[in-house]
Amino acid sequence: MAAAPAADTRLDELVCCPVCDALHELGEVPADTRMRCVRCGTVIAVDRPEAIRRIVVLAATALVLMTIVVFYPFLELRTGMFVSRASVFDTVMSFAQGIMAPLSIAVAIFVIVLPVARLGLLIWALGPLSVEREPWPGAAFALRWAETLKPWAMAEIFMVGVAVALVKLADLATLSMGPAFWSFTAIVVITAIKDTQMSKHSIWSALDRARKS
Amino acid sequence: MVGAGSGTEKLKAWTARDAGLVGCRHCTRVSPIGTETCPRCGGGLTSRDPTSLQRVWAWAVVGLLFYIPANLYPMLITSTLGRPQEATIVGGVIELAQYGAWGVAAIVFFASVMIPVGKFIAIGYLAWIVRKPHGHSPKQLLHLFEVVEWIGRWSMIDVFVVAILVALVQFDLLATINPGIAAVCFALSVVFTMLSALSFDSRALWDQIETLADE
């Protein structure tokens, strides 16, 4: 509940809404309950005991699939005797010449580097917690950056781009999707499921508790 | 949905600032006001960011400046049997519609024209209205802001489409596709408008409502 903090209330028990700054005093969050901000309705805490393990498992799966994405063909195009194959890496390099080079770097960062970095940071921050160990050094730093980078990791947007490109090319040539295409689709779905498991307050207090013990 | 937020909904609430505290926007922990880094997550703390609106406007203006050449210059240069053909963003949409691919034409039109233009208007409106007491429901403004923040990244679709086409269509004599300068301008415009939305401090939506209620 929003309440004026009594003098004896410890700061640890207060939670502020990151969206509107309303102050809440949360005790123990009952299992499978969603706590929303009294004022703006933002979800502040979700207690799902399995959440952290689930996040780590999903992130690890996505990270393994990512290796397939980078090294295997993504799309294949045939017209008569001509065959052209593109991996995600080729797509990234497609702007590499001349003044377009910075765009190549940007696409690489949005589609490969940041999604991989986010997965790696989450595993670093929450991996030890999921098996009830002490967190590794820099866990807080890793978790904070994993969240900060979220809007810039655009794997799912890339997939919609692929769909649009497929339609544009549909009557020019015969297209087939390679293994990388299907792994990438899986990564997008897994990442979306993983992000629904995240609640700032719950994850940060779990990390806090693990650091103190 | 049981818990703190069920039932009553109110505009006024005891905020971290009222309590002489500063809340961390990364991890929700509160610290005494004046603390500069959060003891839990190490993130920077500001109770209210006085430069927020300046940055919103600055990034939005730069984004708008890049959006103009993005529409005037070609996005894709297609050469079929040696004859180059240039297509702008809107030209590409019209071409798709002529194929009869209405759904995809709509997606591209939405991502490359509607979203950027709508975003400039929405951001400008929000940044304008929060400066002084306003009689609007902050919840609705928040929804508008959340939509703007969430949808902005989807404009990148068009840049990725260009990248994929360029990588894939390289049958030297038959057909090649090359990126046009508009692709760079458009990508920059998307990045700057995203920075503009990220600079906006959503807490400002409530601050002036409170002053209004106090009067």
> Minimal Cα–Cα distance from A5 to chain B, Å?
7
Mean pLDDT of A175-186: 84
pLDDT at A66 over 60: yes
Residues of A in contact with B152 (CB under 8 A): 151
pLDDT at B81 over 80: no
Which one-letter DSSP state was computed for residue A4? P
Q: Please count the other Cβ atoms lying within 10 Å of the Cβ belonging to residue B51.
A: 11
pLDDT score, position B174: 67
Q: In sequence order, which residues have a C-beta less than 8 Å from that of residue B177 and are 6 or more positions away?
A: B76, B77, B78, B79, B165, B166, B169, B170
Residues B2-32 have pLDDT tens digits of: 334 433 445 667 788 888 888 888 888 888 8
pLDDT at B98 over 90: no
Contact A35 B167 (CB under 8 A): no
pLDDT score, position A5: 46
> Minimal Cα–Cα distance from B198 to chain A, Å?
9
Q: Tokens at residue B156, please? A: 């990148």
Cβ-contact A186, A87 below 8 angstroms = no
Those of residues 84-123 in B touching chain A at CB distance below 8 A are 96, 99, 101, 104, 107-108
Residues of A in contact with B170 (CB under 8 A): 84
Q: Which of B14, B73, B79, B115 to probe by mutation at the A interface, max A CB count within 10 Å?
A: B14
pLDDT score, position B63: 94
pLDDT score, position B55: 92
pLDDT band of residue B194 (cuts 50, 70, 90) is very high
Residues of A in contact with B157 (CB under 8 A): 157, 160-161, 164
pLDDT at A24 over 80: yes
Contacts across the A-B interface (CB distance below 8 Å): 239
Contact B104 A103 (CB under 8 A): no
Pick from B101, B153, B164: which is nearest to A157 by CB?
B153
Q: Percentage of chain B surpassing pLDDT 70?
A: 88
pLDDT band of residue A168 (cuts 50, 70, 90) is confident
Q: Which of A32-46, B6-20, B147-161 has the lowest mean pLDDT?
A: B6-20
Residues of B in contact with A75 (CB under 8 A): 164, 168
pLDDT at B175 over 50: yes
- Bridge partner residues of A32 (DSSP): none
Mean pLDDT of B40-66: 89
Residue type, A19: V
> Minimal Cα–Cα distance from B181 to chain A, Å?
8
Residues of B in contact with A158 (CB under 8 A): 156, 160
Those of residues 182-211 in A touching chain B at CB distance below 8 A are 200-201, 204, 208
- Bridge partner residues of B84 (DSSP): B79
Burial (CB count within 10 angstroms: exposed 0-12, middle 13-18, buried 19+), residue B18: middle
Mean pLDDT of A204-210: 82
B151 against A12, higher pLDDT: B151
Mean pLDDT of B33-41: 85
B9 and chain A in contact, CB less than 8 A: yes
Residues of B in contact with A19 (CB under 8 A): 142, 202-203
Residue B21 backbone class (left: φ over 0; alpha: ψ -120 to 50; beta: rest): beta
Q: Tokens at residue B91, please? A: 């030209």
pLDDT score, position B12: 67
- Bridge partner residues of A16 (DSSP): A23
pLDDT band of residue B203 (cuts 50, 70, 90) is confident
Residues A70-111 have pLDDT tens digits of: 778 888 877 777 777 778 887 777 777 766 777 788 888 998
pLDDT score, position B69: 93
pLDDT score, position A8: 43
B141 against A212, higher pLDDT: B141
Contact A29 B3 (CB under 8 A): yes
If you average pLDDT over each of A99-113, B69-83, B93-107, B117-131, which comes out highest? B117-131
Mean pLDDT of A163-185: 80
- In this prediction the ipTM stands at 0.81
CA distance B215 to B196: 32
Q: Which of A77-81, B33-37, B148-152 has the lowest mean pLDDT?
A: A77-81
B15 and chain A in contact, CB less than 8 A: yes
pLDDT at B1 over 80: no
Residues of A in contact with B9 (CB under 8 A): 38-39, 41
Mean pLDDT of B207-215: 58
pLDDT score, position A9: 55
> Minimal Cα–Cα distance from A14 to chain B, Å?
7
Those of residues 145-164 in A touching chain B at CB distance below 8 A are 147-148, 151-152, 154, 157-158, 160-164
Q: Which of A15, A19, A21, A199 to probe by mutation at the B interface, max B CB count within 10 Å?
A: A21
pLDDT at B78 over 50: yes
Q: What is the pTM of this model?
A: 0.84
Pick from A12, A26, A154: which is nearest to B156 by CB?
A154
